[in-house]
Chains A and B, each alone.
Chain A
């Protein structure tokens, strides 16, 4: 090896081109079976975890004969990968657990419009993109949870009320790093404007029982353990705690109950978010991707999701799980979920400003 390995540029380059060629050859051989895009396949980037999605994908394969290749990961990172891979991306379908991300995908020009009567018929209008670039597959609500022993539901009314000083030191909520809080604030900005939202967030932060820590389940457990009287959390976490195997989780969940805020004629409705999907702009297996989408809104798939993950099916004809039914019906916020993506950055700035950690 030459001492001038790095110093002498021309030599360096020559070595590298040579190496690059060899590497290319090697990777071609290595990678070929991994990236093969044969017929009868569909390639999925999913921010829904493997264990939550694999069984239903396997059922799809069994029913249609189309093989599903899956990479899971964090939404933002997957979108970034999609963007950087550009026209060469193998991905046909992007699954995420949040509407804001689907909006961003569309905004970046990474998704395409899909005209499908099946999808239109199955999914309510506010749960899909006005331009048909993304579709909601399940939805979840973010209501207020209260400790049954301490709080009467009559004392509660709206999200706005949570900023009232009477709740000082009584509320638990997770960090503002979390997308569910960001989306909730974004929906507020959409309906009430930035100023009112800032005031609300400021009031909420002043009412927190402790600095935000842990996830949604942790807020419910904290409430059950006596740290706070009220908590904000997504419905399926509560559902999974009630329906799961863990005895401690179950005991904690049984101490709290759901209150649906902002109901009634005048009410905006309880904040909801979706898990959903987009077909990528350059999908090479577009037909298969659409077939998979359509399968995911079939009665069978919707019922599976409702039962196993305690999420609400988007398809109104499919009943929620028996557990979810016991929580009663509620009026959901009806803004188009595109708004969540539009106002996300503003929501984060507001949270920074009011010191929501």
Chain B
């Protein structure tokens, strides 16, 4: 199964051995160092950003009390529904030199070009900001779930042992939540590496844009695949490193005692600082871009709102639901297989299968097309001889291939979440179940599933939102007469008609909000020992 999902990735790797020395020399002499450095800075910047936003906010919202906490708790997840390329469109529209903010500044102060300094949103820094603002919820989400699932007793014990509040955060809560935080960080970074829309729009040349330029502009598939393979190896090594770093430690919660959390009440300056941090993040990551989209959408909704628009919503929703369920099933099989048989090979297979998350959608799409088109050709030859008729493109011409591609791309999300859920269940429980006569199947079904209901729901909803936002693979692989909201948004935006793209973009975000809210509720309710 893991091999099956890794197939497209292997298909890309197959090109690695095709020589293309001349193009490589050209790349190395001109642009390669730019690609590498920009990708490195981008990853570092986004990584730092999501940690600095995600972890403190998660701690504040789960362990402290400040005005509006109950609201911020779920509001802070909303940026997850905002695709990075869309937030990039909105901020560019607002902050560009010719946009409303700078124009009114100039009118107000009587400045002209060159008279004043204004940060350029279309830059590496801008790209880092955009990506961090929409990706931090991954860290926030997983860290919060981890904090909530920690037994308060552990923290209380640390306090009785002489830790102050800060110390018990840094020495107990944070290390205990580390696997979850790292998972969140890994998801955010993989998404960053796969991002094409934002960096391309901002003119930041990264590995991803380089792959496309080499492929299409230079027309060299082999060199482009080799670039992609390099990117994948990079991610693979990172994943292995992360795994190795926690090899020695195991993070089981040994105490099953869950007392009601006594939140630390913040007062005065502390409370204000907490409110400020939370509301600023929410404002920048969601409310402001949403307002811009709404104003664009409102300006021309009559021209766009017709029956075909409803069909776009149906298509987007349908695809997202089916893909999310498939990804969950796959993740359960892989995750549980790994738990039952923790051999390096299974573990490797699971890692390989989740690399897809860091690969740009277009590369995945082509990687999926290669084996499927081949299979279709074989099938047609077979049916021609046996049945005397051609079947057409059964696999590569239908929605099947698209769903498959989504799974390759997003399996990491569901797998990581399921693994995190399974990881928290003590293996002694499995042993107890088995010794009482349950089959491995039944252990999963009767013991694990109810225990990690929250993780499972998280896995489904995350993939759902991701598929809703997905663009490049959908664009290439969808069948005739089949459009989605993301496709419509892209078409209008790529034709530089940002304002008209507002309405479909707004719908993507609005549809994404519902599962995000569900997600938040499920986490709040996931804490053992009673409702919060």
Contact = CB atoms under 8 A, between A and B. Distances in A.
User: Is this pair of chains taken from one and the same complex?
Assistant: yes
Given A1-B337, A213-B202, A76 B113 contact: no
B30 interface: yes
A30 interface: yes
A334 B86 CA distance: 40
A7 B341 contact: yes
B481 A69 contact: yes
Interface stretch (A48-56, A128-136, A192-200, A285-293): A48-56
A212 interface: yes
Q: Would you call the interface of chain A mostly helix, strand, loop, or mixed?
A: helix
Nearest to B304: A51
A227 interface: yes
A214 interface: yes
A81 interface: yes
Contacts, number: 197
How big is the A interface, by class?
35 or more
B494 A104 contact: no
Given A177-B217, A237-B496, A225 B98 contact: yes
A165 interface: no
Interface residues of B, number: 81
Q: Would you call the interface of chain B mostly helix, strand, loop, or mixed?
A: helix
Contacts of A77: 362, 365-366, 472, 475-476
B483 interface: yes
Contacts of B336: 1
Nearest to A23: B400
B97 A222 contact: yes
A218 B96 contact: yes
Interface stretch (A137-145, A260-268, A299-307, A345-353): A345-353
B17 interface: no
B399 A30 contact: yes
A88 interface: yes
A3 interface: yes
Contacts of A252: 98
A72 interface: yes
B218 A349 contact: yes
A3 B440 contact: yes
A175 interface: yes
Contacts of B205: 357
B112 interface: yes
Nearest to B115: A226
A353 B218 CA distance: 13
Nearest to B2: A6
B495 A81 contact: no
A24 interface: yes
A86 interface: yes
Interface string A152-184: 000000000000000000000001010000100
8 contacts: A3-B340, A30-B398, A31-B395, A34-B397, A35-B392, A72-B487, A85-B397, A227-B97
Interface of B: 1-4, 26-27, 30-31, 92, 96-98, 103, 112-113, 120, 122, 200, 202-203, 205, 209, 212-213, 215-220, 300, 333, 336-337, 340-341, 343, 345-346, 349, 362, 365-366, 369-370, 373, 376-377, 379-380, 390-400, 440-441, 472, 475-483, 487-488, 491-492, 494-496, 499
Given A34-B479, A225-B103, 12 more contacts: A34-B398, A37-B392, A49-B495, A69-B480, A71-B482, A88-B376, A88-B397, A90-B392, A177-B213, A214-B122, A245-B300, A348-B217
